[in-house]
Amino acid sequence: MSARLIDGKAIAADIRADLREQVQRLPVQPGLATVLVGTRPDSVTYVNMKHRACAEVGVRSVRVELPESVSEAELVGRVRELNTDPQVHGILVQLPLPPHIDEERVLAQVSLEKDVDGFHPVNIGRLAMKNRDPLFVPCTPLGCIELLRHSGTAIAGRQAVVLGRSNIVGLPVALLLLRENATVTVCHSRTRDIAAVVRQADILVAAIGKPEYVQADWLRPGVTVIDVGINQKPDASSARGYRLVGDVDFDACRRVAGQITPVPGGTGPMTIAMLLRNTVRAAQRQVQNG
Amino acid sequence: MSARLIDGKAIAADIRADLREQVQRLPVQPGLATVLVGTRPDSVTYVNMKHRACAEVGVRSVRVELPESVSEAELVGRVRELNTDPQVHGILVQLPLPPHIDEERVLAQVSLEKDVDGFHPVNIGRLAMKNRDPLFVPCTPLGCIELLRHSGTAIAGRQAVVLGRSNIVGLPVALLLLRENATVTVCHSRTRDIAAVVRQADILVAAIGKPEYVQADWLRPGVTVIDVGINQKPDASSARGYRLVGDVDFDACRRVAGQITPVPGGTGPMTIAMLLRNTVRAAQRQVQNG
Ligand SMILES: NC(=O)c1ccc[n+]([C@@H]2O[C@H](COP(=O)([O-])OP(=O)(O)OC[C@H]3O[C@@H](n4cnc5c(N)ncnc54)[C@H](OP(=O)(O)O)[C@@H]3O)[C@@H](O)[C@H]2O)c1
Ligand SMILES: NC(=O)c1ccc[n+]([C@@H]2O[C@H](COP(=O)([O-])OP(=O)(O)OC[C@H]3O[C@@H](n4cnc5c(N)ncnc54)[C@H](OP(=O)(O)O)[C@@H]3O)[C@@H](O)[C@H]2O)c1
Tell me how many degrees the CA angle A224-A225-A229 measures, rounded to the nearest 5. 165
Classify burial at A244, counting beta carbons within 10 Å of its beta carbon; exposed 0-12, middle 13-18, buried 19 or more.
middle
Domain A27-114: state its class: alpha beta
pTM of the entire predicted model: 0.97
Mean pLDDT of all residues belonging to chain B: 97
Could you tell me if B200 lies within 8 Å of chain A, comparing CB atoms?
yes
Q: Considering only the beta carbons, identify the residue of A121, A166, A183 that sits closest to B197.
A: A183
Q: For residues B78 and B35, is the Cβ–Cβ distance under 8 A? A: yes
Nearest to A121 among B126, B131, B200 (CB): B126
**pLDDT at residue B290, rounded to an integer:** 77
Q: Give B121 to chain A, closest Cα distance, Å.
A: 5
Answer whether residue B191 shows pLDDT above 90: yes
- Average pLDDT value for residue range A119-139: 94
Q: What pLDDT was estimated at residue A290? A: 77
Task: Tell me which of A7, A50, A109, A286 is the catalytic residue.
Answer: A50
- pLDDT of res. A241: 95
The set of residues, in sequence order, having a beta carbon less than 8 Å from that of A91 and lying 6+ positions away, is A32, A33, A35, A79, A82, A83, A110, A111, A114, A115, A116
Catalytic residue among A94, A109, A259, A286: A94
Q: How do residues A40-93 score in pLDDT, each as one tens digit?
A: 999 999 999 999 999 999 999 999 999 999 999 999 999 999 999 999 999 999
- Bridge partners of residue A36, in order along the sequence: A65
Rounded-to-integer distance, Cα A251 and Cα A235, Å: 16
What is the fold, at CATH topology level, of the domain defined by B139-269? Rossmann fold (3.40.50)
Average pLDDT for residues A149-178, to the nearest whole number? 98
Catalytic residue among A7, A114, A115, A117: A117
Q: Tell whether B95 is within 8 A of chain A (Cβ).
A: no
Interface touch A124/B127, C-beta < 8 Å: no
pLDDT in tens, B45-97: 999 999 999 999 999 999 999 999 999 999 999 999 999 999 999 999 999 99
Q: Residue B1 pLDDT > 90, yes or no?
A: no
Chain B residues with CB-CB distance to A107 below 8 A: none
Compare all CA atoms of chain A with the CA of B156 and give the residue at the minimum distance: A190
> How far, in whole angstroms, is CA A32 from its chain's centroid?
16
CA atoms within 13 A on the CB side of A37: 23
CB contact B33 to A (< 8 Å)? no
Domain definitions of chain B by residue range? 27-114, 139-269
Digit-coded pLDDT (tens) for A212-257: 999 999 999 999 999 999 999 999 999 999 999 999 999 999 999 9
A89: nearest Cα among A139, A30, A19, A16: A30
A252 within 8 A of A227, measured Cβ to Cβ:
no
Residue B208 clears pLDDT 80, i.e. is over it:
yes
What pLDDT is recorded for position A48? 97
Q: What ipTM describes this predicted complex?
A: 0.96
pLDDT of res. B4: 98
Residue B245, CA distances (Å) to B34, B229, B232 in order: 27, 7, 6
> Residue A233: left (phi > 0), alpha (psi -120 to 50), or beta?
beta
Contact between residue B212 and residue B233 where contact means Cβ atoms under 8 Å apart:
yes
Residue B288 — pLDDT band, cuts 50, 70, 90?
very high
Rounded Cα–Cα distance for residues B166 and B115 (Å)? 19
Backbone region of residue B246 per phi and psi (left: phi > 0; alpha: psi in -120 to 50; beta: other values) = beta
CA distance A93 to A244: 25
Average confidence (pLDDT) over A134-145: 98
- Mean pLDDT value across residues A1-22: 96
CA distances from B280 to B15, B16, B226, B286 (A): 12, 11, 26, 10
Quick check: A14 pLDDT over 90? yes
Cβ(B59)–Cβ(B29) below 8 Å: yes
